[in-house]
Amino acid sequence: MVFKMGVRKLGNLLNIPEEMLGESVIGAVYEVQIKTKGISNPQQVANLIASELPNRVNLTIRYIEVGADYIILQIEGSPFAWALLLGFLPQLLLLAGVVVMFISVWSVISAIPSWAWALLAIGGGLVLFGPTIGKALIPKPAPVYYQPPPPPPPPSY
């Protein structure tokens, strides 16, 4: 599934010269292509990028396309420092991955029936408290009270 936001500006892609990597040019549109390892919810990642990236870096997002293994951003310079953008993208993608993981964990947890959770709780309780309960159930010998020593044997002649 591919999720797209905005209108993509068509044209030829040119590599950015190294001397221009300090700051962006006002009004210039840049395309950033990111390869990822599997995005399970492209819409959520696109919304996260659209909401968080302009807050962190002074830029305007013109187009976002998020696929299963790539992200394409078209951003307009206003100006911003490339170091800020390149430093923030890994944090943003990590956050998106964590959010997707928590949603996946919740969907798995919610699919498990309540009786299975009850059995899991009982089993955990037995693992934690079972040895103590077992020791309490073992019968103890009757207490031995003080008894005087037996009389000495009679002398033998």
pLDDT of residue 101: 64
**11 φψ region: left (φ > 0), alpha (ψ -120 to 50), beta (else):** left
pLDDT of residue 63: 92
Helix (H, G, I), strand (E, B) or coil at 75: strand
Q: What is the pTM of this model?
A: 0.57
Determine contact, residues 88/53, Cβ cutoff 8 Å. Answer: yes
| Residue closest to 49 by CA, chosen among 40, 62, 37, 38 | 62
Please check whether residue 13 lies inside any domain of the structure.
yes
Residues with pLDDT less than 70, the chain: 14, 17-21, 98-104
pLDDT of residue 148: 82
Specify the DSSP class assigned to residue 145. Answer: P
Using one digit for the tens of pLDDT, what is the confidence trace for 122-131? 999 999 998 8
Please check whether residue 134 lies inside any domain of the structure.
no
Please check whether residue 53 lies inside any domain of the structure.
yes
Using one digit for the tens of pLDDT, what is the confidence trace for 83-99? 777 777 777 777 777 56
Domain total of the chain: 1
Please check whether residue 77 lies inside any domain of the structure.
yes
Please check whether residue 142 lies inside any domain of the structure.
no
Please check whether residue 52 lies inside any domain of the structure.
yes
**In sequence order, which residues have a C-beta less than 8 Å from that of residue 23 and are 6 or more positions away?**
77, 79, 80, 81, 82
Please check whether residue 38 lies inside any domain of the structure.
yes
**% pLDDT > 70, the chain:** 89
Query: What is the side-by-side strand order in the sheet with 3-6?
Result: 3-6, 60-66, 70-76, 29-35
pLDDT of residue 80: 75
Structural domain range at position 81: 3-111
Spacing of C-alpha 136 from chain mean position: 43
Please check whether residue 95 lies inside any domain of the structure.
yes
Q: What angle do CA 132, 133, 136 make, to 5 degrees?
A: 90
